[in-house]
Amino acid sequence: MREVLIYFFLFFGAVMMLIAAIGCLRLPDLYTRMHAATKSGTVGIMGIVIAMMIHVGDTSVILRGMLVILFFLLTAPVAAHMIGRAAYRSGVPLWEKTCVDEWKKQEPDSEE
């Protein structure tokens, strides 16, 4: 039972990382690529860390693994937000089929 759980979480994490990489290659736009990379990457790391926690089963390893998961959950949205904001302000174009752009209606430099 425990080995089945380890296999499941290991493959789940690895396949999620593969989906993140393929999405980073195939999607048409910087912003959609960022969406694929951030979310699937975080879930993939979580899967592999959970597999390692089940495999070792030690208290210190479980605590450090939870630290890694918490770190990724905290930093991935912050990094994606900063990159997306900087890219929009420096003029990276959106995909031509994008239908909602709420920041365009405001003034471009309204916050500084």
Which stretches of the chain bind other proteins, using CB under 8 A? 3, 6-7, 10-11, 13-15, 17-18, 20-22, 24-26, 30, 33-34, 37-38, 41-42, 44-45, 48-49, 51-52, 55-56, 58, 61, 64-65, 67-68, 71-72, 75, 78-80, 82-87, 89-90, 92
Q: Residue 15 Cβ, how far from other proteins at the closest point, in Å?
A: 7
């912050």: which residue's tokens? 78
Q: Residue 110 Cβ, how far from other proteins at the closest point, in Å?
A: 15
